[in-house]
A = this chain, B = another copy of it.
Amino acid sequence: MTIQYAILGFLSREPLTGYDLKKLFSESVTLYWSGNNNQIYRALVDLHQASLVTRVTEHQESGPSRKVYTITTNGLAALRDWALTPPELPQLRNPFHVQLAWTAQLDDAELDAQLAAYEEEVRVKYLMVREQESRNTATPQRTARETLIWRNIAANWIAFYENELQWVRALRADLAAL
């Protein structure tokens, strides 16, 4: 359900094609959709049927024709209504916790190897998020308020991975001390 509003959000800045949206989603770390076609193209059909967007097909000489979607006033109203909807809690799922919880059969070295692998994964992701934020891709910059919000969303992700790194390092140290 939410991906439709994420799409409406992007369209509230400028008209885009499905392909554009696909790239925006797959490049973004903060938006959690993988940018797969199935969801995006279906969502666009739904949004169009609900009159929240209009569609114009542009035939190009070189390359395939593109369908450009533009948000309608209905769409803007829907986006505003949704923005006033009660906030949901973040959903965190950490399969590694489940894995960790049941490592009774592993010896100390095997356990630490798993923790080291996790630490490395988190470190790489952390650097990726930081790097992407420093390049500052796709930030709206419409108002100072919006810029502040977008910077803080990115900061939230950075803090999350920092927290995760600290945690796994502390756990490894505690286990070594045991």
Type the 1/0 row for A119-136, where 1 means its CB is closer than 8 Å to any CB of B. Answer: 001100100000000000
> Is the beta-carbon distance between B167 and A91 smaller than 8 angstroms?
no
Residues of B within 8 A of A171 (CB): 148-149, 152
Contact A174 B148 (CB under 8 A): yes
Q: When the two chains form their complex, are residues A153 and B114 in contact, meaning their CB atoms are under 8 A apart?
A: no
A104 within 8 A of B: yes
A56 at interface, CB cutoff 8 A: no
Is B114 in contact with A83, judged by CB distance below 8 angstroms? yes
Contacts A92-B160, A148-B178, A171-B152 given; indicate if A76 touches B97 (C-beta within 8 A).
no
Chain B CB within 8 A of A90 CB: yes
Contact A79 B92 (CB under 8 A): no
Question: Are A159 and B153 within 8 A (Cβ)?
Answer: no
A2-B98, A89-B125, A149-B175 given; 18 more Cβ-contact pairs under 8 Å = A5-B102, A76-B105, A83-B105, A85-B99, A86-B117, A87-B96, A89-B121, A91-B92, A92-B157, A97-B156, A100-B149, A100-B153, A104-B146, A145-B175, A148-B171, A148-B174, A159-B167, A160-B163
Sampled A-B contacts (27; CB under 8 Å): A2-B98, A5-B102, A30-B101, A31-B97, A32-B92, A32-B93, A79-B102, A79-B105, A86-B117, A87-B99, A87-B114, A87-B121, A89-B122, A90-B95, A91-B92, A101-B153, A103-B149, A104-B143, A104-B146, A108-B145, A148-B171, A148-B174, A148-B178, A149-B171, A152-B167, A152-B170, A160-B163
